[in-house]
Amino acid sequence: MSEKKLLIVDGMALLFRGFFATSFTGNYMLNSKGVPRNGLFGFLNYFTDAIHTFDPSHVICCWDMGSKTFRNEMYDGYKANRSAAPEELIPQFDLAKEMVEAFQVPNIGVVGYEADDCIGTLAKQLQNEYQVIIVSGDQDLLQLVDEQIQVAIMKKGTGNYDVFSNDNFYEKKQLSPKQIIDLKGLMGDSADNYPGIKGVGEKTAIKLLKEFETIDRMLEERSSLTKGMQKKLEQYEEDLTISRKLAEILTEVPLDFSAETAVWKNDHDQIVRYLQEELEFHNTDRWLKKLSKELA
């Protein structure tokens, strides 16, 4: 295993999580210019905690670049059930990226692709040279777990992660990482608004994958299924096909990236200057203490 450790942060997940953790109170933490900062505050808590916890030598942050991607071209209804981002969150997107730049961490995003696809592409490109750790709240990313790729799912609170690796994956999920794609294909995803097979939940989907391993094999051997399931396949096979495609994270996004730009520098002076002067976060010790043991 490589001693070099590369942390890939799902910027969208951390910012949304930080925003909604505080917005329910109505406290958007406006600065002197009236700009909300509550999502940024939460992002900083999660971001610095991830660096403190996983002690990386390199750090990358990935973002969505607009609401439309190639998946919307594949399926009109993809994420169509999602409401627009709260107006208080909108100005915090660009500020979050600026803040990441102040940490001298590269922001990665490609128009037409989701952050997940950039994360998957980078993880697969770099897994031979680095121990890759992906931090997110999105369990879709579990399909990326591989040799030298771990996925740390954020749990309630700060500093609480469920870390998935090749060694513990089957014990935790009763499936292999690659089977997560077929699992979501069978179940669909109400959050992303794609259908799967109507009436098939997680328990049934896992049972089918344990028996057949893949959707392809299940379709080849459909005669061995119950009459009810055969009927469902006949009725929803088109939905199954598109759902499986939508569930799969693309790992060949056209991006040009050098890991040397991601070396974790931990420049306290630059970080403090940005947080205090640009964002008006004056009590920066809470974040710097988490970074104090890191590589200078």
CATH number of the domain to which 228 belongs: 1.10.150.20
Whether residue 159 sits in one domain with residue 28 = yes
Structure tokens at 92: 């915090």
- Count of the separate structural domains present in the chain: 2
Shared-domain flag, residues 283 and 235: no
Say if 231 falls within a structural domain. Answer: yes
Res 20 pLDDT > 90: yes
pLDDT-derived band of residue 296, with 50, 70 and 90 as boundaries? very low
Domain interval for residue 215: 179-247
In angstroms, rounded to a whole number, what is the distance separating the alpha carbons of residues 238 and 73? Answer: 16
pLDDT value of residue 294: 46
Q: Do 169 and 257 have their domain in common?
A: yes
pLDDT in tens, 211-268: 999 999 999 999 999 999 999 999 999 999 999 999 999 999 999 899 999 999 988 8
Query: Does residue 261 share a domain with residue 169?
Result: yes
**Domain for residue 296, yes or no?**
no
Residue 282 has pLDDT above 80, yes or no: yes
Residue 60's beta-bridge partner residues? 8
pTM of the model: 0.95
Please indicate, yes or no, whether residues 121 and 75 belong to a single structural domain of this protein.
yes
Regarding whether 219 and 161 lie in a shared domain, the answer is no
Q: What secondary structure does DSSP assign to 223-279, as a single string?
A: GGS-HHHHHHHHHHHHHHHHHHHHHSPPS-------GGGGB----HHHHHHIIIIIS
From 127, 170, 134, 171, select the one nearest 151 (Cα to Cα): 134
